[in-house]
Amino acid sequence: MSVPEPCLVLDGSARAGVRVGVLQGGRWSGQGVSEDGALESLFPCVEGALAQAGVTLTDIQSFALCVGPGSVLGIRIAALSVRGWCALSPRPIFVWESLVALARGALAAGEQAPFLVATESRLKRWHALEVTADGSLGVPFEAEAAELNASGRRVISASEAANGVLTSVVMVPTPWATLPGSFAQPGFLRAEHRPDALNVANDFATWSGERHRGSA
């Protein structure tokens, strides 16, 4: 999908930190990154990214937002900000999912399927998604670390907490740097008039590591 540019891209899904970028010509022309929470850092990151790109908010032609899974507070702060800007000056909004970005980034980097991708959830649980042997992406689910370890799959993660908790983990960088390329892939983005954080209870599948044990 081709998004109208310049596009303001916001990701508040991390447990700590915010990333904002201005997408122009298929690359980042400006970025704002902070390790602080979205409440404190989203707007400074937006201002920094816009200034680096040499544009203003009125120049932005579209928005792209990560809807998770991840920090519900961070995602909702970013989503409400985008919805507020669009209420004042209507522009198209697009969304993507963090696990899909991680999975597609791993495939593009040459990781051989099947594998799982995982990010930290709440209460020491993990958001995860299965990539099957043919490269197809499954349905996101939430699981204990022990369930992921029992699955027999390699687990691809960019979360620092994965080391020492997940036994077959492969650590990778966050997919932020490769997002401009991912945006051009069919099905990665979808239009969403009123974006919000993914609802874990309604949107996620149940998971049993037992069903995959020994199937790698």
Which CATH number does the domain housing residue 145 bear?
Answer: 3.30.420
Range of the domain at 58: 7-97+175-199
Q: How far apart are CA 178 and CA 107, in angstroms?
A: 12
Query: Does one domain contain both 188 and 168?
Result: no
Number of domains in the chain: 2
- φ and ψ at residue 102, rounded to 5 degrees: -65, -45
Query: Does one domain contain both 78 and 21?
Result: yes
Q: pLDDT digit of tens for each residue in the chain (216 aa)?
A: 689 999 999 999 998 899 999 999 999 999 999 999 999 999 999 999 999 999 999 999 999 999 999 999 999 999 999 999 999 999 999 999 999 999 999 998 999 999 999 999 877 899 999 999 999 999 999 999 999 999 999 999 999 899 989 999 999 999 999 999 999 999 999 999 999 998 654 455 445 554 444 443
Query: Does one domain contain both 71 and 24?
Result: yes
**Report field, pTM of the whole predicted structure over 0.95:** no
Query: Does one domain contain both 113 and 208?
Result: yes
Query: Does one domain contain both 127 and 156?
Result: yes
Position of tokens 């689910």?
Answer: 141
